[in-house]
Amino acid sequence: MSIPESQRDALRQAAIDISQKAWCPYSGFAVGAALLAVDGRIFSGCNVENASYGLTVCAERNAIGQAVAAGCREFQALLIFTATQQPTTPCGACRQVITEFAPDIDVISVCDGPNEIQVSMRELLPRSFGPHNFDQTSRLTE
């Protein structure tokens, strides 16, 4: 389901703004992610790298963390911004983490170039492992 243009614009701006806060001295690849909650709130995150490279946390996972810490676990859409010529879709680890809370949302990837990608989480991570495998999905809304 597509979101209204105004909300998409707000997500894009939030993702651009937070990408400028990215800590990415090793890759030089800044990422901003903005999540639209069902209640209209927007939560955003940037990538935070570490000198011990493997401890890097992606923008998408930081956005999810911000939302969950604020008590929000239901989302409508996720927008990812990179200041590149081609859009970037979430890495495999982030696909798993997004699926935990939002297995059906649309993911919109935008960049400095004209190309955009809009794709569903089901398409990004088909046949996923998730809360349904425990048959206790209610714990997501507790």
DSSP 69-126: HTT---EEEEEEEESSSS--PPPHHHHHHHHHH-TT-EEEEEESSS--EEEEHHHHST
Is 5 part of the annotated catalytic residue set? Answer: no
In the complex, what is the shortest distance from the CB of residue 3 to ligand THU, in angstroms, rounded to a whole number? 20
In the complex, what is the shortest distance from the CB of residue 76 to ligand THU, in angstroms, rounded to a whole number? 19
Q: Are 24 and 40 in contact (CB under 8 A)?
A: no
Contact footprint for ligand THU (CB under 6 A): 24, 27, 29, 31, 47, 49, 56, 58-60, 88, 90-91, 94
Neighbouring C-beta atoms of residue 92, cutoff 10 Å: 9
**Which C-beta is closer to ligand THU: that of 63 or that of 137?**
63
Catalytic, out of 5, 49, 60, 142: 60
**Which C-beta is closer to ligand THU: that of 91 or that of 137?**
91
Find the length of the chain: 142
In the complex, what is the shortest distance from the CB of residue 94 to ligand THU, in angstroms, rounded to a whole number? 5
Q: Which residues are catalytic?
A: 60
